[in-house]
Amino acid sequence: MCGGIEYQDHKIYFPQPNARLPVMLRHGGVTWVIWGKRKNEDSGSFPNGGWARLNSIKAGKWNPWRPRPVLIPANCFMEKDHDGQSHWIPLDASMVIQALVAERGGEQRVYVVTEETPPEYLWINDRWPRLRKVSDRSGITSNN
């Protein structure tokens, strides 16, 4: 389900309070957006978790949060297997992670879009981040 990503020198894990993911901007930079919602957060206006199943997006379940597709640049992402072991999956330089930005009351949260796991990785997890190919990530810089 993508419990963590590595981007440049940053390792981000979903359980971290206020974890933020880099979201690609059209001009080539990134902005950092809070990754989902943890169960213990006060903000009740967003769904719990940090993931959005592709089939639930297509079914309209995310419509109340006005979902907008975005891309997450990453060097690799982390999946935990059924025994709780972490596995870092490297990404080719042309690959990014698809996500959505949800909005409510002027606040934004980013959720990683998940789909079925490729057969060669089913032994790790049954959900996998949706990966997309982009033509050029070379101009991406961090805008902290």
Give the residue extent of every domain in the chain.
4-142
Q: How many helices (H) and strands (E) does the chain have?
A: 1, 13
What is the reported pLDDT for 142?
55
What is the reported pLDDT for 41?
81
d(CA 112, CA 120): 21
- How do residues 73-85 score in pLDDT, each as one tens digit? 999 999 998 899 9
Counting as low any pLDDT under 50, the low residues of the chain are none
What is the reported pLDDT for 137?
58
31 CB-near residues (< 8 Å, 6+ apart):
22, 23, 25, 143
- How do residues 5-27 score in pLDDT, each as one tens digit? 999 989 999 999 889 999 999 88
φ, ψ for residue 48, nearest 5 deg: -65, 145
Write down the CATH superfamily of domain 4-142: SOS response associated peptidase-like (3.90.1680.10)
What is the reported pLDDT for 143?
53
Predicted TM-score (pTM) of this structure: 0.90
Q: How many CB atoms lie within 10 A of CB 54?
A: 15
| Torsion angle in degrees (nearest 10) through CA of 102, 87, 134, 132 | -60
